[in-house]
Amino acid sequence: MSMKVTPREEDYSRWYTDVVLKAELADYAPVRGCMIIRPYGYALWENIQETLDAKFRATGHKNAYFPLFIPESFLAKEEEHVEGFAPQLAVVTHGGGKKLEEPLIVRPTSETIINAMFAKWIRSWRDLPLLINQWCNVVRWELRTRLFLRTLEFLWQEGHTAHATAEEAEEEARRILELYREFAEKEMAIPVIVGRKSESEKFAGAVHTYALEAMMQDRKALQAGTSHFLGQNFAKAFEITYQTRGNRLEYVWQTSWGLSTRVIGAIIMVHGDDQGLILPPRLAPIQVVIVPIWRSDKQEAEVRKAVEGVKDGLGGVRYEFDDRETYTPGWKFNEWEQKGVPLRIEIGPRDVGKRQVVLVRRDTGEKSIAPLEGLKGRIEASLEEVQKNLYRRALAFREENSYQVDDYEEFRRILEGPGGFLWAHWCGSAECEAKIKEETKATIRAIPFQEEEGGRCIRCGETSIQRVVFAKAY
Would you tell me which residues interact with Zn ion (CB under 5 A)? 427, 432, 457, 459-460
**Contact assessment for residue 460 and residue 429, using Cβ atoms and an 8 Å cutoff:** yes
CB of 430 to Zn ion, least distance (A): 10
Q: Which is nearer to Zn ion, 379 or 432 (CB)?
A: 432
Q: Which is nearer to Zn ion, 147 or 427 (CB)?
A: 427
CB of 428 to Zn ion, least distance (A): 7
CB of 425 to Zn ion, least distance (A): 8
CB of 424 to Zn ion, least distance (A): 10
Give the dihedral sign, CA 147/441/204/210: positive
Query: CB 102: neighbour CB atoms within 10 A?
Result: 9
- Which backbone phi and psi does 219 adopt, to 5 degrees? 70, 15
How far separated are the first and last CA of the chain, in Å rounded? 28
Q: Which is nearer to Zn ion, 190 or 427 (CB)?
A: 427
List strand residue ranges (DSSP E) for 279-318, in order: 288-292
CB of 206 to Zn ion, least distance (A): 24
Which DSSP letter does residue 101 get?
E
Q: Which is nearer to Zn ion, 273 or 433 (CB)?
A: 433
Q: Which is nearer to Zn ion, 82 or 432 (CB)?
A: 432
Closest C-alpha among 391, 412, 395 to residue 458: 412
State the Cα–Cα distance between residues 154 and 265, nearest whole angstrom: 12
Q: Which is nearer to Zn ion, 103 or 448 (CB)?
A: 448
Q: Give Cα separations from 432 to 408, 425, 437 (angstroms).
A: 12, 11, 9
Exposure letters 346-375 (e unless 16+ CB within 10 A, then b): bbbbebbeeebbbbbbbbeeeeeebebeeb
**Contact assessment for residue 211 and residue 195, using Cβ atoms and an 8 Å cutoff:** yes
CB of 121 to Zn ion, least distance (A): 45
Q: Give Cα separations from 430 to 201, 292, 410, 421 (angstroms).
A: 10, 61, 22, 20
Q: Which is nearer to Zn ion, 339 or 459 (CB)?
A: 459
Give the dihedral sign, CA 39/23/283/383: positive
State the Cα–Cα distance between residues 381 and 27, nearest whole angstrom: 34
Q: Give Cα separations from 150 to 85, 296, 463 (angstroms).
A: 15, 50, 37
CB of 460 to Zn ion, least distance (A): 3
CB of 49 to Zn ion, least distance (A): 42
Residue 156 β-bridge partners: 136, 260
State the Cα–Cα distance between residues 362 and 275, nearest whole angstrom: 10
CB of 432 to Zn ion, least distance (A): 3
Which DSSP letter does residue 103 get?
E
Q: Which is nearer to Zn ion, 9 or 409 (CB)?
A: 409
Q: Which is nearer to Zn ion, 166 or 460 (CB)?
A: 460
Q: Which is nearer to Zn ion, 204 or 442 (CB)?
A: 442
CB of 462 to Zn ion, least distance (A): 5
State the Cα–Cα distance between residues 114 and 112, nearest whole angstrom: 6
Q: Which is nearer to Zn ion, 310 or 432 (CB)?
A: 432
Q: Which is nearer to Zn ion, 372 or 460 (CB)?
A: 460
CB of 439 to Zn ion, least distance (A): 13
CB of 105 to Zn ion, least distance (A): 38
Residue 158 β-bridge partners: 134, 258
State the Cα–Cα distance between residues 1 and 308, nearest whole angstrom: 29
Q: Which amino acid is at 103?
A: P
